[in-house]
A and B are shown apart, each in its own frame.
Chain A
Amino acid sequence: QQQVKQSPQSLIVQKGGISIINCAYENTAFDYFPWYQQFPGKGPALLIAIRPDVSEKKEGRFTISFNKSAKQFSLHIMDSQPGDSATYFCAAYTTDSWGKLQFGAGTQVVVTP
């Protein structure tokens, strides 16, 4: 049973466009929601994270929007660049997880020049 559902599976966006990736969760005990970026041959790198007491967090061109009542959160990549082409994973965590991040299935983003 997948505890974090991520969509879309893949998306293609033009340079300068906005990439939007959505995630939904069921477990209301989750209290930490990170996004990871992974390039081929590399491990996932923490991109940005949010806790449920905040509805939005922005770091550079990356923004997380969090809707606690809907149990959904999303990643927006503004002014997408070819270097942003990667696989993005959302995840969820609670202290009771004892080190286990619950990952979404991943979204492959391709930014065309």
Chain B
Amino acid sequence: KAGVTQTPRYLIKTRGQQVTLSCSPISGHRSVSWYQQTPGQGLQFLFEYFSETQRNKGNFPGRFSGRQFSNSRSEMNVSTLELGDSALYLCASSLDWIGGGYTFGSGTRLTVV
């Protein structure tokens, strides 16, 4: 059974650019959550999607957005990149939001220069 797949694994972008990260959840999983991980702030929740609907959002500026497709694949977008957006972005999936048993992908390492 394939795990959570995130692409790309690494990205280098310039300040002011925008970036799109992709996440393919485990087959059958319909809930997808996104997290930002940095050494200083730890794991911070970005948002959660279920059945193409965003049902929860963390405390991040509007530059961070996401969406989920009918096949449960999800993308997150960051516009007008800032140096502070450099982080490991993690996607996690679960059958649904009820139990909390989320499986994480390996993440996308974003470096903003």
Contact = CB atoms under 8 A, between A and B. Distances in A.
**Chain A complexes with chain B:** yes
Interface residues of A, number: 23
A45 interface: yes
Main secondary structure of the interface of B (DSSP, over half): strand
15 contacts: A32-B101, A41-B106, A42-B107, A43-B6, A43-B106, A44-B90, A46-B103, A89-B43, A93-B100, A97-B97, A98-B55, A98-B97, A101-B92, A101-B100, A106-B43
Interface string A73-113: 00000000000000001000111011111011110000000
Interface string A32-61: 101010000111111001000000000000
Contacts, number: 70
Range class of the B interface residue count: 20 to 34
Contacts of A45: 104
Nearest to A30: B100
A42 B103 CA distance: 12
